[in-house]
Structure 1
Amino acid sequence: MTSDTSPAPSQRPVDLTDCDREPIHQLGRVQSYGALLALSSDWIVQHASTNLEEILGMSHEEALGRPLADLIVSDGFDRIRASLRTAEGGETAVRLFGVVLKANGKSFDVSLHASGPYLVVEFEPKLGTRGRDVMTDVYPQIARLRRDRGLERLARDAAMGLQALSGFDSVMIYQFQPDQSGKVIAETRSDQQHRYDGLRFPASDIPVQARALYKRALLRLIADVDDPGAPVLPGVDLNGQPLDMSLAVTRAVSPIHIEYLRNMGVGASMSVSIMRDGELWGLFACHHDAPRYIDYELRTAIEMYAHMFSYELSKFEDGERKQAQSDTASLQRTLMGHMADGKALSESLMAVSDEIRLVIPHDGLVLYENEEFSATGTTPTKEEFAGIARMLDRSIGSSTFATDQLGRAHEPARDFPERAAGLLAIPISKRPRDYLVLFRRQIADTVEWAGDPTKPAQLGPNGVRLTPRKSFEVWRETVTGRSAPWTNQQCHAAELLRTVLLEIFLKITDATSAERKRAQEHQELLISELNHRVRNILNLMRGLLAQSRSSARSLEEFTDNLDGRIQALARAHDQLTAEHWEPASLHGLISCEFAAYADRKAERVIITGPDALISPQAYTTLALVLHEMATNSIKYGGLCDSGGRVEIALSTDHSGGLLIDWKERGGP
């Protein structure tokens, strides 16, 4: 036999997550202003609320196990059945207004939705005729929503419009913050006071499962906080499962939430979800000092009004994003202008730091490129940033990263919040990882809460559950180690700037790669040309040695012949370099050879005919040929005595080839 060592319920530790575990979608009760039936697939009533007799005139015992067609008139049944296809499998309720369900002609507003294997049908009696269409009141309020006056004015106008439509004593617009707490950004009250405007409510005030339900069921009316409601029987099905009432418009209220509202002094409340891109952006929170019921048709119109506010909110935020795009495009043009002047990326970014500050306000900027640290403004030191860079390398991937509490992500940063309490990191390459990082200093901020968010939990009338706080007096918290938060628009601008910097970085990388490739190709060409010329020179020297050896009768004569031929090559090379390795004059080459050896006899060399330009590839070879002929003429031919001469005639043949006609006269 084992002993049970688990703590007794009264001893169990209590924390704020207790509220998150409450099954508020399975409370098994409805509010008294409506009745509920859950039908099987063959239209047989499986569950019924015990207030059915007050609403439809029959007890819930009579309804259980009977077809719906037996409980209401045929016209009403036909209208409900015709709407069934829309309700099946849907995540939203089908709404029918002014449906006659009883023979006395009394009409109801009806809601239909699927819940597991059941079709849930809810009935709310029409309390009377309005006298005019509900949309007549809604359209003027929609027309007053103007996004071009800023978010604060848009929210205030929306709160005033919803108060006019609903008649509630107060309407607040409650915006969820990044930490899931809520901030009241607009409030309108019939007593003209501002009780909660600007205050924060801790995230625990709206538990996780409540926020999930707000995304599915967009409007929630609590008509009377003192209403005991009516149970839905049987409480569980044959499998022991309670009815899922997530989308039930008449669903009863959690005892925890009822106590919370009573502590606020509220007699009735209505919450309307504000959605943005499929997520819960915030709520319209409506409070009334006394019980207040609004019929289903008007509540539907109010939902539409909230949709229109969400649309205007989306357009406002889209406008902010477009402005960020425009500012970033202007920044890109300025940055590219600096780089077009030949400045490096680091120098260019430092030069436009003021322009970046206008788009994304910050106190300091760091560029970390190839492990080189460049900074301007108020920033961590190079050594401090090295640790931040390692944290970014292992944590953020290739996306931008923003935090207004750097000390939470990087503990050493808690030592220098006066220089870097907030960080917005923009990766601009992958390997090596380079960053543009914007820093914000710590701000001494005072957050005003509607009551102490850290007040210790106390057990109350709801057993081991938390008793909601009873005080909503302003409670001020001084926050340290935190910078001004980075807004969605600033983070979007950072993403755009990241795209710009990546584009510039890739252009620089491509240009460097292309320059490196051109340099490599040029180097390979030079090496190839050098190899070719060295081989030619070596072959030429072998030829000169062989030629000089065959014509020499002594070592001295061999040396003189070799020296003369090398000198001829040197003179030819000098002429080519004087022309920058361009084609050189044949007249000049001939004259140069005779001038080097014939002294005054060179005057007896007569050159006629048009000059020709000899390409560098042929010039040295032709220089050696002319050297041999000139030296032979001086030693053995027309210039070996005092009376001979050399006649050289240049011409072209029929194919355009060069003809050199060499004649020596008057020699031995």
Structure 2
Amino acid sequence: MTSSEDPKTFSVDLTNCDREPIHLLGTIQDFGFIVAISFDWLIQRVSSNVERFTGKSPDDLLGNPLGVLLNDAIIRMLRSRLHMLSSADASERIFGVHLLSADKTFDVSLHVSGQSIILEAEPSGESQSVSPGALVRSMSGRLQRTQSAQELFDESVRQLRGVTGFDRVMLYRFNEDGAGTVVSEALRNGLEAFKGLNYPATDIPVQARALYIRNRVRTIADVDATPVSIDPLHDPNSMPLDLSMSVLRSVSPIHIEYLKNMGVSASYSISVVIDGRLWGLFALHHYAPRRLSMEMRDATELFGLMISLMIEGRLASEQRKAEENARELHDRFVGKIMSLTPSVADLSDFANDLRDIIPADGFAVWANGSVKGYGKTPPVEDMPALARFLNRAAANRVYSSDELGAVYPPARAYEGHVAGILSIPISRSPRDYLMFFREEIVHTVTWAGNPQDKQAGNGADGLRLSPRKSFEAWKETVRGRSRSWTAAEKKASEALRVSILEVLVRFTEETSRQQVIAQQQQELLIAELNHRVRNILALIRALVTQSKATATSVDDFSRIVSGRIQALARAHNQITDEKYAPQSLSEIIQTEVEAYIGGKVERVELTGVNVLVSPQAFSILALVFHEMVTNSAKYGSLSDSTGRVLVGWTIDNQGFCVIRWREEGGPAVQRPSRRGFGSTIIERSIPHDLGGEAEVNYKLAGLEARFAIPPRAFEIGPEHRNGIGTQGDQTQAAARTGGQMPGTREWTLMTSDNGLLLDGMNVLLVEDNIIISMDAEQLLESHGAKTVAIAASVSEARRILNDDAIHVAMLDVNLGAETSFPLVQILVDRGIPFVFVTGYGEKIEFPEAAGPNVEAVKKPFSEEELIKALTRAIERKRNA
């Protein structure tokens, strides 16, 4: 708190009324006393009148435990009530408490202010105990029978005057500018009526309105009473006590003078709060001192809550009817323009329909720098400047003003003709508008006294502003204003804006939208093509590299590579010929058999239901069965003239397609002495890429294999087939498998000062293509990686990260149905360096969490590119 806001030094002048610290005045009203208690129940402050009520002076109490004032039973009760406080602005009230002695009762209020528990007490009222619930129920019966909002206002002030006995009860409603109007009144005979009078916003300053929301009732028992000070005024940190929620809080001297000028000796107010905003006040005036008991104040506060809900309901009902009418007109208008193909300028043809939705005296359409107007509008030559003003004021939103000249001074020139505007922007650039205009309404406002009749003079507190002394009706003629735009009309205009924009986008911006879409599609296709081409190149590179491990000559090497490439090509052709549709499993096997063994095709028997393999699995199976056929032709049943191969498939109880490959009649089978690239493809492709199973048994009588394909990778066709199938639907996998096959490879090893770059490290390799992952696995191991954990999906990678200690990661961006981006934050949080591998072009956008220096190695990558990128990533992490 600044010194200028200290309640003892603050001086009210012509500029700072709204900053008077009315909650920090440091005094209370004299009909009760206050005790501020620390949370360890020591007395911090008391009001200076405490001795009058308790017999103990401030010096007897300050700094001592609360037990020197109250007995243990009372303190226990206060503790339990303190625990019931639900929020910072809540308070607990206890009525008829024998606080100090058995012969006298007090009403007590308890709340928390900052670091203090505030105990306020006042003698209980002499009247019979009041039940807030019963009182409100009795008042609500008549209120519920009222038909309109005004009847509700009138009945509520009558009920309040009846139960409180105040001379005058007014319902005061705030306008949007903070000024207010007395909308209903009940008063004692012989008093001047205030109903219909207006009060300026300065009569209830901003900070007072904020307190009315927090503290829903406010009592001033006697304007002539001397305020009672808080002892001490400041705490050890030089802060006064915040009395915002106090029931005894004293009154601003300015407000006391205001009430005295009105002849009022006591007042009471009840807030009407709707949607968290101060909608109005019940203002109760009495012309002699009057204090309602705390129990009665509690009952009227409950009444205020109830009447707030009732008023909100009545107002909402009236607004709902207006909105329903506007919606019906809106739907009719939209139906008309939907059947046509209007431009922005053509909307002027619907002027009458639009003015039905939003009542106005004039209407204009500003479009493409020209205007069409109907009824009362500003002069045509002034419209360009008005449009430029709206460009600044509207900010692409509905804009309204019932006093255009006040916000746009050039409009003063024609305010006698047009005074109010509501504009609806219906395009972005250039900005076009629908404009609704209302004519000036010259009207008279009756104020409770002249609002400007305030005088400044020197008082005890220095220069101060005195409230006006006369509250006799004072009439002011208001010019330059139109009828206000209602909340329902503003809501209807926003709905109209959205609907018109939708229609105009549909009809007038369709060509532009299609061009944008076409460009986006072209960019997407180019990016996808780039990705596919890079993957294909990476696949070919891996095939060439890995196939040399088992080749015995150049011709043998050429034949192996050619066979594997042709297997992929055949799979790709089968997919594309059938427009990427599921393909027959029998066709996959038949194609490989016919391509490799030609005349021996009758020695391969295929049996099973008509299984159609999904495009995502097709090339995986094509490669697997290419290797199976190749191995059989080299070493197995198809290598002589007597052997044969039996291939059959069924659907098991879990929905898997189980394929069994059995060879018989060929030479004796021996388990291979070394594990080649072909064996790796057979055993690892289906589990890795499809999530299935693969098992190979080298039995002496003939090789047997079992493959299980998960249900998501195939479907059952419309008919069953036996024997070798005819050509039909085939599966795609070449695009997805577009990857590499590792066999043995000779690497050019890159080293660091301590040996191999990855020496002793555990590497996470995220790659959904088994061939590419096998190639990369061997590359990483050759550079010293202790282990290479391979994951084909984000979920599998997360499991590895949770279970294993990972030192560096290599992430393929595209994992088929997902990307590896969700792993970035995990790696960053754990301090694990990583690089991306991608088949996309340069424009790929990486997650922000990856940082500005993240690297992406493009497929097909060379050993040197990958290792250098990993080196830089590891070094950056070490130097971070």
User: How does the TM-score come out when normalised to structure 2?
Assistant: 0.55
Q: Choose 30-39 or 376-385, whichever is displaced more.
A: 376-385
Distance 1:219 1:405, change over 3 A: same
Q: What is the alpha-carbon distance in structure 1 between the residues aligned to residue 510 and residue 320 of structure 2?
A: 31
CA contact (8 A) 2:157 2:171 kept: yes
Q: State the partner residue of 1:434.
A: 432
Q: What is the alpha-carbon distance in structure 2 between the residues aligned to residue 295 and residue 359 of structure 1?
A: 52
- Aligned pair 1:60/2:58, yes or no? yes
Q: 1:201 aligns with which of 193, 199, 202?
A: 199
Q: Secondary structure at the match of 1:476?
A: strand
Q: State the partner residue of 2:364.
A: 366
Q: What is the alpha-carbon distance in structure 1 between the residues aligned to residue 356 and residue 32 of structure 2?
A: 56
Q: State the partner residue of 2:481.
A: 482
Q: What is the alpha-carbon distance in structure 1 between the residues aligned to residue 505 and residue 143 of structure 2?
A: 45
Q: State the partner residue of 2:503.
A: 504
Q: Choose 278-287 or 353-362, whichever is displaced more.
A: 353-362
Q: Secondary structure at the match of 1:239?
A: coil
Q: Secondary structure at the match of 1:163?
A: helix
CA contact (8 A) 1:89 1:114 kept: no
Q: 1:309 aligns with which of 303, 307, 313?
A: 307
- 1:94-122 per-residue CA deviation (whole Å, 9 max, x = no partner) reads 22223331231533221111111111110
Report how far residue 512 of structure 1 moved: 5.5
CA contact (8 A) 1:18 1:466 kept: no
Output the aligned Cα RMSD: 2.7
CA contact (8 A) 2:443 2:479 kept: yes
Q: Secondary structure at the match of 1:25?
A: coil
- 1:507-560 per-residue CA deviation (whole Å, 9 max, x = no partner) reads 33465658999999xxxxxxxxxxxxxxxxxxxxxxxxxxxxxxxxxxxxxxxx
Q: Secondary structure at the match of 1:368?
A: strand
Q: Secondary structure at the match of 2:102?
A: coil
Q: State the partner residue of 2:280.
A: 282
Q: What is the alpha-carbon distance in structure 2 between the residues aligned to residue 246 and residue 196 of structure 1?
A: 29
Report how far residue 354 of structure 1 moved: 4.0
Q: How does 1:641-656 map to 2 (within 5 A)?
A: none
Q: Secondary structure at the match of 1:17?
A: coil
Report how far residue 480 of structure 1 moved: 1.4
Q: What is the alpha-carbon distance in structure 2 between the residues aligned to residue 143 and residue 505 of structure 1?
A: 53
Report how far residue 181 of structure 1 moved: 1.4
Report how far residue 54 of structure 1 moved: 2.9
Q: 1:234 aligns with which of 223, 232, 235?
A: 232
Report how far residue 91 of structure 1 moved: 1.8
Distance 1:509 1:97, change over 3 A: farther
Name structure 2 gaps, 5 residues minimum: 1-9, 520-880
Report how far residue 363 of structure 1 moved: 0.7
Report how far residue 491 of structure 1 moved: 2.0
Report how far residue 19 of structure 1 moved: 2.1
Q: How does 1:326-365 map to 2 (within 5 A)?
A: 326-342=324-340, 344=342, 349-350=347-348, 352-365=350-363
Q: Choose 207-216 or 350-359, whichever is displaced more.
A: 350-359
Distance 1:477 1:231, change over 3 A: same
Q: State the partner residue of 1:133.
A: 131
- Number of corresponding residues: 509
CA contact (8 A) 1:155 1:185 kept: yes
CA contact (8 A) 2:185 2:194 kept: yes
Q: State the partner residue of 1:394.
A: 392
Q: Choose 459-468 or 413-422, whichever is displaced more.
A: 459-468
Q: Secondary structure at the match of 1:439?
A: strand
Q: What is the alpha-carbon distance in structure 2 between the residues aligned to residue 363 and residue 431 of structure 1?
A: 28
CA contact (8 A) 2:343 2:508 kept: no
User: How does the TM-score come out when normalised to structure 1?
Assistant: 0.71
Higher relative contact order (CA 8 A, sep 6+): 1
Q: 2:381 aligns with which of 355, 380, 383?
A: 383
CA contact (8 A) 1:188 1:194 kept: no
- 1:162-198 per-residue CA deviation (whole Å, 9 max, x = no partner) reads 2223221111111122221121111111227562111
- 1:554-612 per-residue CA deviation (whole Å, 9 max, x = no partner) reads xxxxxxxxxxxxxxxxxxxxxxxxxxxxxxxxxxxxxxxxxxxxxxxxxxxxxxxxxxx
Distance 1:349 1:284, change over 3 A: farther
Q: State the partner residue of 1:595.
A: none
CA contact (8 A) 2:143 2:155 kept: yes
- 1:280-328 per-residue CA deviation (whole Å, 9 max, x = no partner) reads 1121111001111111121111111111121122222322332233123
CA contact (8 A) 1:88 1:114 kept: no
- Aligned pair 1:152/2:119, yes or no? no
Q: Choose 95-104 or 292-301, whichever is displaced more.
A: 95-104
Q: How does 1:600-639 map to 2 (within 5 A)?
A: none
Q: State the partner residue of 1:270.
A: 268
Q: Choose 194-203 or 102-111, whichever is displaced more.
A: 102-111
Report how far residue 43 of structure 1 moved: 0.7
Q: 2:322 aligns with which of 305, 321, 324?
A: 324
Distance 1:328 1:480, change over 3 A: same
Distance 1:427 1:157, change over 3 A: farther
- Aligned pair 1:35/2:17, yes or no? no
Q: Choose 263-272 or 153-162, whichever is displaced more.
A: 153-162
Report how far residue 348 of structure 1 moved: 7.0
Q: State the partner residue of 1:252.
A: 250
Q: Quick one: which amino acid aligns to residue 63 of structure 1? A: L
CA contact (8 A) 1:147 1:312 kept: no
Q: 1:185 aligns with which of 183, 186, 209?
A: 183
Q: State the partner residue of 1:46.
A: 44
- 1:359-381 per-residue CA deviation (whole Å, 9 max, x = no partner) reads 43321111223334222110113
Distance 1:136 1:194, change over 3 A: farther
Q: What is the alpha-carbon distance in structure 2 between the residues aligned to residue 92 and residue 416 of structure 1?
A: 53
Q: State the partner residue of 2:223.
A: 225
CA contact (8 A) 2:371 2:380 kept: yes
Q: State the partner residue of 1:75.
A: 73
Report how far residue 490 of structure 1 moved: 2.3
Q: State the partner residue of 1:120.
A: 118
Structure exhibiting the larger radius of gyration computed from Cα positions: 1
Report how far residue 397 of structure 1 moved: 1.1
